[in-house]
Amino acid sequence: MNEDISPREWESLSAYLDGELNLEEEKQFERTLNQKPALRRSLEKLRQTRLLLRQMPQIRAPRNFIITPEQAGIKPTGSLFDFSFTLLRAVSVIATILLVVVFTGDLLNRSGGIPSAPNMGALQEQEAFMLEQTAPPMEMPVEAAEILDDAQIEANEALKMETAPGMPESIPESEVQTQARRLEAVPKTLEDAEEGGRETYIPTEIMPVDIQEPAITQKIAYLQPTLLAVEILLVMVAVGAGAAAILISRKRR
Amino acid sequence: MDENTLIIDSQNGDLDAFNRLVLAYQDLVYSQAYRMMGEHQSAQDATQEAFISAFKKIKSFRGGSFRAWLLRIVTNSCYDEYRRRKRQPITDLEPAIEEEDYFDSPDWLADTSESPEQAVQRSEIREAIENCLQHLSIDFRSIVVLVDIQGLDYDEAAQVIGRPLGTVKSRLSRARLQMQKCLNSFGELLPAPYRLVDESNYE
């Protein structure tokens, strides 16, 4: 049928039918077409074939092809799952950080590392100075009482001598009188000491001051049960929130 | 809402807008896929893949013919599906439903001017053409479907298959020649009005 039509002519024939030749190519092909009846017959057959093909209807899609967010690779945003997951994860992380901080602080406190060295030293020096300035040994009040008795007797005797005739009006204070006056200032009991003010007497035997345990350490020791409770609570929150977040994540997948 | 607005919204990630485009173009895309693949299941797979791929790539659409852009994606999707089926042939457990589809077609029910005989004739022609199309290689088949059935011009077809204009001309002319030869073999089966004119009539 097409033995006398070259592949090049056949290509031009197809393009001519579709109006895809330029003006010059079109004129040239029409000249060839007039010279070759077989080419004209082929043109007509090709026109028929194309007509049949163009009559083919569009096929209706058997179903809708709308795509879902999952197919499109879009993660649903703002869902309750997402919000819960984010919240629980944040709570777990914050609780873990707090637990580490509290536990580390507690551990350092137990090993005596919380008060800083310079502050500790200053506190100890201050307390030692106060003791040195005010507190005599505990046995001193007993001796002082005996000495005071002796001194009072001597003072009474001196007073008698002073009132005796022939004696000068001012007699210089004896060594014993000076000692006696000084000792009078020393309180004999705790009540005396309290009345006289803490600055003058510190009863180390009755109310000992432990200079090895500063006040801050005592306070932290007082808080130990509370710290333990906080640590347990933080562990529970961190583990619970973390586990819930993992469960939600798995459920979403 | 016009097509351009839907395309812009889709480019901004609006899946609903894109799904409106899907509804508008799904018959065209499915037709292309079915004519290239020759059977429904593969055509559906290729169509779905094409739309998913189109949504993911829609930001790269820079204007021009959206129809041609979609046809290019579905054509590529068909090539992929064709290669996959060739490696792993699949036998459908369900019988083919083309015949059933045809008689359930709203197109058939709506055409009241056509007599049953004419409808049968039309059906025979379609079957013959579908049969001949499936005897073409996939490269020839795709170009015939794009130009002669979908009505694209050569430039659009070149854009869809990603080949130069010369390749389109060459492939189309050879594909048409093969189609013509194939349809001639159905000449006796085809009803008279559609029967190809014999060469002797021109002598």
Percent of chain A surpassing pLDDT 70: 56
**Residue B162: its pLDDT value, please?**
92
Task: Say what percent of chain A tops pLDDT 90.
Answer: 21
Does the ipTM surpass 0.90?
Answer: no
For residue A175, the SS3 value is helix
Question: pLDDT tens digits, residue range A116-164?
Answer: 444 555 556 666 666 666 555 555 555 666 666 776 777 777 666 655 5
Residue A73 with chain B: CB contacts under 8 Å: 56
* Separation of alpha carbons A188 and A6, rounded Å: 141
Q: Which amino acid is present at B2?
A: D
Q: Report how far residue B35's alpha carbon sits from residue B24's, in angstroms, rounded to the nearest whole number.
A: 19
Residue B155 has pLDDT above 80, yes or no: yes
What is the distance in angstroms between the CA of the first residue and the CA of the last residue of chain A? 64
Contacts of B103 (CB under 8 A, 6+ apart): none
Q: What is the mean pLDDT of residues A40-44?
A: 90
pLDDT of residue B164: 95
Chain B residues inside the 8 Å CB shell of A52? 125, 129, 183, 194
Q: In 10 A of CB B129, how many CB atoms?
A: 24
Grouping H, G, I as helix, E, B as strand and the rest as coil, residue B177 is: helix
Under a CB-based contact definition with an 8 Å cutoff, are residues B114 and B133 in contact? no
- pLDDT reading at A216 higher than 50: yes
What pLDDT does B20 receive? 95
Q: What digits encode the pLDDT tens for the residues B66-123?
A: 999 999 999 999 999 888 887 776 555 554 444 444 444 444 444 556 677 777 777 8
A100-119 in b/e form (b: 16+ CB < 10 A) is: eebeeebeebeeeeebeeee
Q: Which residues of A159-191 are buried (b: 16+ CB within 10 A; e: fewer)?
A: eeeeeeeeeeeeeeeeeeeebbeebeebbeeee
pTM for this entry: 0.56
Task: Report the interhelical angle of A224-252 vs A80-110 (nearest 10°).
Answer: 150
Tell me, what DSSP letter sits at residue B89? -
Contact residues on chain B for A72, CB-CB shorter than 8 A: 15, 18, 52, 55-56
A and B: number of Cβ contacts within 8 A: 120
| Interchain pair B30, A59: CB under 8 A | yes
H runs (alpha helix) in A135-208:
140-163, 175-184, 190-196
Per the CB < 8 A criterion, the answer to whether B202 and A40 are in contact is yes
Question: DSSP character for A68?
Answer: P
pLDDT at B156: 93
Q: How many CA atoms lie within 13 A of B69 on its CB side?
A: 16
Distance CA A89, CA A228 (A): 24
Tokens of B29: 């895309």
Q: Which chain B positions have a beta carbon within 8 Å of A15's beta carbon? A: 154, 169, 173
SS3 A221: helix
d(CA B173, CA B144): 9
- pLDDT, residue B102, reads 44
Sign of CA dihedral A30, A31, A35, A39: negative
State whether B27 and A71 contact (CB < 8 Å): no
The Cα–Cα gap between A139 and A8 comes to 135
Whether the Cβ atoms of residue B89 and residue B81 lie closer than 8 Å to each other? no
- Comparing CB atoms, the residue among A50, A60, A73 nearest residue B27 is A60
Residues B19-71 pLDDT 10s: 999 999 999 999 999 999 988 999 999 999 999 999 999 999 988 899 999 99
- pLDDT tens digits, A11-36: 999 999 999 999 999 999 999 999 88
**How high is the mean pLDDT of chain A?**
74
With contact defined as beta carbons under 8 Å apart, do A238 and A172 qualify?
no
pLDDT (tens digit per residue) in B193-203: 555 554 444 33
Tokens of A115: 């008060």
Is the model more confident about B124 or about A187?
Answer: B124
Amino acid identity of residue A231, one-letter, is E
In this prediction, residue B172 carries a pLDDT of 95
